[in-house]
Amino acid sequence: MKTFKQHHALLLAAVLGVACAGDPTKAPVPAESLAVIDTATLMRHIRVLGADSLLGRGPGTAGEDKTAAYVEAQFMAMRLKPGNPDGSYTQKVPLVGITVTNSPTLTFAAGGKSATLKWRDDFVAWTKHVAPTAALAKSELVFVGYGVEAPEYGWDDFKGVDLTGKTMVVLVNDPPVADTAVFGGPRMTYYGRWTYKFEQGMKHKAAGVLIVHETAPAGYPFTVVQGKTAEQFDLVTADKNMGRSEVEGWITLDRAKALFAMGGQDFDALKAKAATKEFAPVPLGVTASIELRNTLRTVDSRNFVGLIEGSDRTLRKEFVIYNAHWDHFGVGAKVNGDSIYNGASDNATGVAGLLDLAKAFMAAKVKPLRSILFVAVTSEEQGLLGSQYYATNPLYPLNKTLAIINLDGLNTWGRTSDVVVMGYGASDLDDYAKAAAAEQGNRILRPDAEPEKGYYYRSDHFNFAKVGVPAFYPGAGITFVGKDSTFGMRTRADYVANDYHKPSDDIKPTWDLSGAAQDLQFDFAIGFRVANAGKFPEWKPGSEFKAIREKSLAPKP
């Protein structure tokens, strides 16, 4: 009996015929499509999406309504079909918004002494419980190192400790071990992500979770964390998130060191021990107390979805997805007199790119065999919520979805002689990328220049990867044409330090979108060829997502 893959290959061979006889990664790409990807159109979209009038594109605000009106109008003007099978351009995403209304203090106490931490300056905390209040009352603090349980590496930071009712203090990122076979060497894995730390708190029934912020391991300064003092969103769940820890948050490094000293411990010494498999949780002999008062609201936010149907009657039921998140932080705390978090780079550029790619596919004289879905998702900045909702409530079967290509922060600094791929080496999509890069003047394909920051786990494609869909996340190159060799990394570092998740993320007079157009032509070539390929892209051997995909593609008994 033939397997599902064999049946699928025979069907494709019949449909594609001679066209697929060669290397699918190098099949012809329509020149007319590449020609319409231009900087002027990109800037026109960015000026609208990054304008003050859109109020920072906050979910559940007038800014969302204005963003919806613009994106849907562009879909209609290009004659994209509604992407939702219900005939609309939207997928509703039910969210709950929780805002801390008081200015809480976090109090540490030990041996008759106490220390009070100041809201925003020393710590940031919230609750995902859908409840008017949340509190810790003299909750015992336990240091759990990096909070990692990775049986494949023989690693367990918990060693059976009972954290019920206690608050775990945890380090961000992965344990920094010398063995490159463990935790991917310098590359951050999902074990290092802050979301994983909070998931561990929930798993171990901890009352609270406090992550120690360090700029280098986190990948951003504490000012980014301070943005979380605004309204926090989460997906609506049946248990109103009561299974999560009561309080989640971050504390500064200085306050963490003082906390450890209060308990008679040395922070640096315990951090060093936490980098070994032998580490075991350390009770700090200190308690934590805090009370959060909240306002609550439910919101039907939206993913925006446009569709170009494939030209083949059978294969049009299979999909390639281009994704970008449309949201940013709305209106928040003032910084240098500005309270609108425009997110011009993050991610008005990505949505502009999504629209330009849709225009390019519509310009093709011969449409691809499979369908192309353009998805602008909500609430990425709140923890990848819009993509999580789509991945768990897909509009089209995931086992019919060949790939997702994610656009998150396009290159605004000019053309490059290279392309950076987050998670390089993960899937067959890299083979398509190599061919596309070679055709652009032999551009070099590079792995992530900063793997320790875990970018592959920090954007929307990751939710699709978690359910098995091959996910491709291209980033800006680092070698800029006509610039010195340090320009790329210096410029990226400057953006992260001064503009990332701040009101100053506006259009700059120095922007050069020629690099964004170059990258979008690269992205187009990948997606167009996958949509015409003779087989599904696969995860490479050793990928943590390979078994998930194989299971989803296996024939049902």
Domain ranges of the chain: 29-88+309-477+511-551, 98-296
| pLDDT at 298 > cutoff 50 | yes
Predicted local confidence at residue 178, as pLDDT: 77
Across 124-138, 231-245, 311-325, least confident range: 231-245
Query: In this structure, is the dihedral angle defined by the CA atoms of residues 453, 540, 536 and 19, taken in order, positive or negative?
Result: positive
| pLDDT at 213 > cutoff 80 | yes
> Quick one: tokens of 532?
């015409």
Across 4-8, 298-302, 452-456, 480-484, least confident range: 4-8
Percentage of residues in the chain having pLDDT higher than 70: 96
pLDDT in tens, 517-544: 999 999 999 999 999 999 999 999 988 8
Task: Give strand pairing partners of 135.
Answer: 291
Which residue stretches of 28-82 are H helix? 31-35, 39-49, 62-77
Predicted local confidence at residue 7, as pLDDT: 46
Domain 98-296 class, CATH top level: alpha beta
Distance CA 284, CA 277 (A): 20
In one letter, which amino acid is 403? A
What pairing do the DSSP bridges indicate for beta strands 319-325 and 401-406?
parallel
pLDDT in tens, 152-195: 899 999 999 999 999 999 999 999 987 877 887 777 888 999 99
CB 402 within 8 A of CB 414: no
| pLDDT at 9 > cutoff 60 | no
Residue keyed to tokens 């997702």: 404
| pLDDT at 5 > cutoff 50 | no
| pTM of the full structure | 0.88
Angle (deg, nearest 10), helices 39-49 and 62-77? 150
Predicted local confidence at residue 230, as pLDDT: 82
| Residues 6+ positions from 483 with CB-CB distance below 8 Å | 414
Domain 29-88+309-477+511-551 has CATH 3.40.630.10: yes
Predicted local confidence at residue 181, as pLDDT: 78
Q: Confidence band (pLDDT; 50, 70, 90) for 450?
A: confident
Q: What is the dihedral of CA 497, 454, 203, 289, to 10 degrees?
A: -10
pLDDT in tens, 342-392: 999 999 999 999 999 999 999 999 999 999 999 999 999 999 999 999 999
Distance CA 462, CA 48 (A): 28
Predicted local confidence at residue 93, as pLDDT: 97
Residue whose C-alpha is closest to residue 501's, from 337, 325, 341, 330: 341
Predicted local confidence at residue 20, as pLDDT: 45
Q: Name the E strands within 83-207.
A: 90-100, 106-110, 113-117, 123-126, 133-143, 149-150, 155-156, 167-171
Can you tell me the mean pLDDT for 211-235?
Answer: 91
Predicted local confidence at residue 14, as pLDDT: 43
Q: What is the dihedral of CA 203, 206, 210, 214, to 10 degrees?
A: -40
Which residue stretches of 376-486 are H helix? 385-392, 429-438, 461-466
> Quick one: tokens of 106?
């976090």
Predicted local confidence at residue 183, as pLDDT: 84
